[in-house]
Structure formats: C-alpha cells, structure tokens
Structure 1
Amino acid sequence: MVTHQIPFRMEIFSLVDVNLLLKIVLAIIMYSVGLSLRVQDFRYVVDNKQLLLLGLALKVILMPFLGFVLLSLTTLDSVYKFGIMILLFSAGGTTSNVITYWYKGTSALTVFLTTISSLLAVFLIPLLVNFMSIVYFGSGTDFSLPVFETVISVVLIIILPALLGLWVNEQFPVFAKRIEKIIKPLSVSLLAVVFLIKFLAPAAAGGTELSWPDLLLLTPVLVLINVLLMSAAYGICRWRRLSYQDSMTIGIEMGLQNAGLAILVGGVFIGNEELVKPSLIYAMFSFWTAMLFAYLIKNRYYEKSWT
C-alpha cells in the first residue's frame, strides 16, 4: 500500500500545470483590481501626491532595504535570503484592499498603492533580482532573469489584465461591479489552491516539498520582518503627521506582499523551488498578522479623531 501512495499522488498533481494556473490566477486578480478603478479616480493621485509618494517610497524603497538589513543579521542560507528579497520586491498584495476596507482605512489609497507598486514591480524586479543575485552569489550566477523577456511576461500577466478591467469598468460600470463581487473572492480562492498544490505536490509535479525544518527555520524570521515593516511604516507615517487611517493603510500595505508574483519569479522565471519557500510561508500568516495590526490600531485610536 505504501509503495503506491507517492506515484498515485504524483499522477494526480501531474494533471495540473501549476505554473500555468499561477499565471492565470494572477491575471484574474489584476483584472479584478482593474475593475475597481475608474479614470476619474486618478484625481486622488493628483490631489494627494505627497501621501501617495510616501507610501510608494516606504513600500518600494524602505521595505526591501530594511528587509536586507534584517537578513544580514541572520544565519540563513543565501538561497533563502534571496527568496525573501524576491518576495519583498514583489509589492502589491491585493488582500490589503480587503483588510483596509474592513477596518475603515483609506480605500482609495490602498488601491492605488497596490496598483502602482505592482506596475513598478514589473520593471524593477528583473533589475533588482539580478543585482541581489550578484550580492548573494557573485557574478556568473544562474540565479538571474532576462530583463526584456521578464518584463514582457509580467506585463502580459499584471498590466494588461488591470487595464482591461479598468476599460470594462469605464464602459460597463454596472456589469463591472457585478462580476467584481464574484471574481475577487474566486481569484483569492484559486490562489489559495495554487499555494496548497505548491505545499502538497512533490517537486516533480511543481511542488516545493516544504518540510518542518523549513517552517521552523524561516517562519520566525519572516514574522519578524512582517511585524517590523508594518510597525516602521506606521511610525514613520504618524511622525509625518498622517491621519490614523492613512497611517494604518500604509502599514497594512507594508505587511502584505504579492506572494503569487514572487512564486512566479522564483519558481517559474528562475526555476528554483527553494526560492519559493519563503513566499509560501509568508502567505500563510501575513493576512492574519496584517488584520491583527489593523484591529489593534483601529481599536486603540477609534475614539481619537477617527473620522
């Protein structure tokens, strides 16, 4: 009986092209983000340039820098450090929109931070990943990305679906609102399925073969990074005299990354499943820690100028 379990398991997972499914799910998620946007909403960007720029600076510049500093203090293998940096470069976790809405943050801000940081990631990821591969492994490493091909691939998966969703919302707003209510939860559920397959499937079928030693080694470091990034962002925003809502919103953005994009980069474009492990583990808890963060901020300051 035991001798037949693994082949049967591989046969089941071989029926699914995990990497193709990941690309499709990411495209659906970005399409749903586009459905929530209107051209007239970009007036918010014009009216709040400093707020948006601060959020982007924290998310795109400060977050990877702090992550790199924290990782330099650990004894993790370089391949895990590199995988975590890929995750931190993959800005634009869409679940931040949900948490911000639930806890009455600034929804317009989180949508634009998610969208714009995702667009920036398209062009920055190949350059930053190649740079960090040299930092961790030296020149001539196999951990590198072809810049042009990667940009084209991510444009097709990230930018075009978002633009299509924006166009549909502009042309057919009633229809867009209806299907957005279906697509958003569906896409998140599908992404969870992809993550589950990555957890359970053997390496030959596209899995990462996460082990308990992996979880015990990486989870404390990833939780520490997650909590410190959210706390640092919130503290800087309050120091800059931003409102509690805006500060909380940017803090949530700092705590949630696009794990699907990180998995695509590490597991598909680079082709090393070891790089995927930090993103899978991060995806397991980051939604809950970000929600706890929002709960604590909102309840502590609800009676203090939460308008």
Structure 2
Amino acid sequence: MSPGRADQHNSRMDSWLTTVGLPVALGIVMLGLGLGLTIGDFRRVAAYPRLVLIALGCQVLLLPALCFGLVLLFGLRPELAVGMMLLAASPGGTTANLYSHLFGGHVAVNVTLTAVNSVLAVVTLPVVVNLSADHFLGDAASIGLQFDKVLQVFAIVLVPVALGMALRSRFPRVADRLGRPVKILSVVVLVAVILGAVLKERANLADYFLAVGAVVLAFNVISLLIGYGVPRLAGVGRRESIAAGMEVGIHNSTLAITIAISPALLDSTEIAIPAAVYGIVMFFTAAVFGYLVSRRRAPAEAGRGRTA
C-alpha cells in the first residue's frame, strides 16, 4: 500500500472509530449501566434524603466551582481548562461502586447516587461545559456541545439506560445474561477508540501529563476529601460517607473522554487529555483514600467491640 493510500486508509479508520464507534460504545456502556439499575434504586433516595442532597450538591455545584478555581490557579490552556470542567461535571461510575465495596462503603448508596447523578448529568453537564467553553475559548460555537445538542446527549446517554432498566424490569434473567457480554463489548470498543486517540497524540502525551498532572491530582484529592468530609460533618454515618466520598471523588472519566473526542459533541482530543490523565491517577489516589478511611474505621469498631 502506498503512503498516500495508507494515510487515506488511516483517516477513514479514525473517522469510523469516532463517528460510529464512539456513539455505539457510549450507548453500550449506558445500556450496561441500565441493566444493573431498577426503579428501586431511585426509590432508595427516600431512605437517604439528606445524604443524597449533600452528595449531589457537592457533585453538581461545589466541585465545578472548585475545579474552576484550580484551573485559574494552575493557568491551564483553554482546551485543557474546558477538559477539566468537563471532568468535574461528569457523574460517578461503576468504579466508584467497586471501590466503595472494597473499602467498606454502603454500596446501595453508591448505586442510588450513580443512578440519580447520571440522569441529572444529561442537563448539568452541557450547562457546565458550555459556560466553560464560552469563558475559556471565547466562542462556544467553535465546539460541538451546544444547547441544541442536548437532545443528542439525551439519545446517546439516557435512552440506552432506560432500555436497560426496562429489560431488567421485564426480563430479569435476560438482563443477567446480557450484563457481562455488554460490559466486555463496551470495554473492547472503548479501548479501541481511546487507544486510537492516544496514538494520534502520542508525541504530546508527556507534555500533556506535565501540563495537567498536578491539577488533576489536586482535583482528585479534593473531590475525595469533600465527598467524605462534608457528609461526616453533617452527621452522616461512616459507611454512607465512604460511599459518598467514592461517588463524588471518582468521576466517570470514560464518559468525559467519549464526549470530548466524539465529533457529534466536542470533537477535541486535547479536551479529552485531563480525563485521560485522571483515569490513571484516580486508581491510586482512591486506593490510598480507601485504605486510610478503612484504617480509621477499624480501630473505632475494635474499641466498640472491647467495651461491649
């Protein structure tokens, strides 16, 4: 194959991955989320109203404001600044549920928060990103996520969740059987798309990590501390606070990356860089955080056991 034809072939492959692969992959991910949710997950809000309000307030209002301050403090380039705000506006994901389970959190609370926040994000995420783009880029129309794109986000994100929940409700055995294959398929497609984006920008990866590594780390640590500390200060139990800490502190970086590089939405690899770096950093910071709060919990429980 000649160099010219090879370039055309690679270009077509990149185009197919971003225009077809990304929406399909995101739809599969959201379908998998829906397969694991029930109406009861949303009804559970009534059992933890104060915690849900506190956690969602931190997630939707406090974190974007703090992230905006960090972006200004670190002086990020406009595209990277928008990428950080996109990350801050992204809801928690299944990784938060896993970490909560590993470190003694109340997993049912995680499921509830993920369910509610995923629905809220359909509205809040475009608002945060548009305001950020208008502030940092000057011309919000230069990127794809405008208010007239909300319906596209709705179709790609919320409809598959609703379909998954409908399957879970009507055909629970089918949902159980589909759960694992859907997760595997979504991981395969997403890895292919994200690797394609990484390879395209491989020459700049070290620079990007240097540019956003510190702010990503600071944002992740602050998110974890706020997610755990604010509920504790409000008198919420430790297990529930651990769950809130994981939910607020572990953002869905996969969703942020997909929105950033999808041509139908933001169509920018550079905007995806903060979420990509965050996706690596948060595995370690969340593990350290989980270990520390677990160590604090263990002596307290041991003390109660001796006095009993």
User: Per the shorter chain, which TM-score range?
Assistant: 0.7 to 0.9
* Conservation of the 8 A alpha-carbon contact between 1:82 and 1:136: yes
Q: Distance in 1 between matches of 2:118 and 2:204?
A: 27
**What SS does structure 2 have at the residue aligned with 1:270?**
coil
Deviates more, 1:68-77 or 1:124-133: 124-133
Instruction: Name the CA shift for 1:240/1:171 in 2 (closer, same or farther; >3 Å).
Output: same
Shift of 1:166: 0.9
Shift of 1:13: 7.3
Counterpart of 1:287?
283
Instruction: Name the CA shift for 1:298/1:110 in 2 (closer, same or farther; >3 Å).
Output: same
Instruction: Name the CA shift for 1:231/1:189 in 2 (closer, same or farther; >3 Å).
Output: farther
- AA aligned opposite 2:21: L
Counterpart of 1:174?
173
Counterpart of 2:257?
263
Shift of 1:208: 7.3
Instruction: Name the CA shift for 1:102/1:21 in 2 (closer, same or farther; >3 Å).
Output: farther
Q: Distance in 1 between matches of 2:108 and 2:56?
A: 14
Aligned 1:124-273 pairs, distance under 5 A: 124-138=124-138, 142-143=142-143, 145-148=145-148, 150-200=149-199, 202=200, 210-268=204-262, 269-273=265-269
- AA aligned opposite 2:257: I
Aligned 1:34-53 pairs, distance under 5 A: 34-53=34-53
Q: Distance in 2 between matches of 1:46 and 1:140?
A: 38
Shift of 1:65: 0.9
Q: Distance in 2 between matches of 1:296 and 1:7?
A: 55
Q: Percent identity, aligned pairs only?
A: 30
Instruction: Name the CA shift for 1:250/1:265 in 2 (closer, same or farther; >3 Å).
Output: same
Q: Distance in 2 between matches of 1:155 and 1:263?
A: 17
Instruction: Name the CA shift for 1:197/1:14 in 2 (closer, same or farther; >3 Å).
Output: same
Counterpart of 2:292?
296
Over the residues paired in the alignment, what is the CA RMSD in angstroms?
2.7
| Long gaps (5+) in structure 2 | none
* Conservation of the 8 A alpha-carbon contact between 1:22 and 1:260: no
Shift of 1:67: 0.8
Q: Distance in 2 between matches of 1:117 and 1:75?
A: 29
Write the deviation string for residues 228-279 of structure 1: whole angstroms up to 9, x where unpaired.
1111221112111212211111111122222233233332213222211111
* Conservation of the 8 A alpha-carbon contact between 1:208 and 1:276: no
Write the deviation string for residues 265-299 of structure 1: whole angstroms up to 9, x where unpaired.
33221322221111111122223322332232123
Q: Distance in 1 between matches of 2:188 and 2:267?
A: 25
Instruction: Name the CA shift for 1:73/1:41 in 2 (closer, same or farther; >3 Å).
Output: closer
**What SS does structure 2 have at the residue aligned with 1:105?**
coil
**What SS does structure 1 have at the residue aligned with 2:210?**
helix
Deviates more, 1:242-251 or 1:252-261: 252-261
Shift of 1:199: 0.8
- AA aligned opposite 2:276: L
* Conservation of the 8 A alpha-carbon contact between 2:87 and 2:256: yes
| Long gaps (5+) in structure 1 | none
* Conservation of the 8 A alpha-carbon contact between 2:133 and 2:140: no
**What SS does structure 1 have at the residue aligned with 2:115?**
helix
Which of the two has greater helix per residue? 2
Deviates more, 1:94-103 or 1:229-238: 94-103
Instruction: Name the CA shift for 1:54/1:215 in 2 (closer, same or farther; >3 Å).
Output: same
In the alignment, is residue 68 of structure 1 matched against residue 62 of structure 2?
no
**What SS does structure 1 have at the residue aligned with 2:142?**
coil
Shift of 1:135: 1.9
- AA aligned opposite 1:58: C
TM-score of the aligned structures, taking structure 1 as reference length: 0.86
Shift of 1:7: 7.9
Shift of 1:12: 5.4
Counterpart of 1:81?
81
Deviates more, 1:189-198 or 1:242-251: 189-198
Q: Distance in 2 between matches of 1:158 and 1:140?
A: 22
Instruction: Name the CA shift for 1:297/1:171 in 2 (closer, same or farther; >3 Å).
Output: same
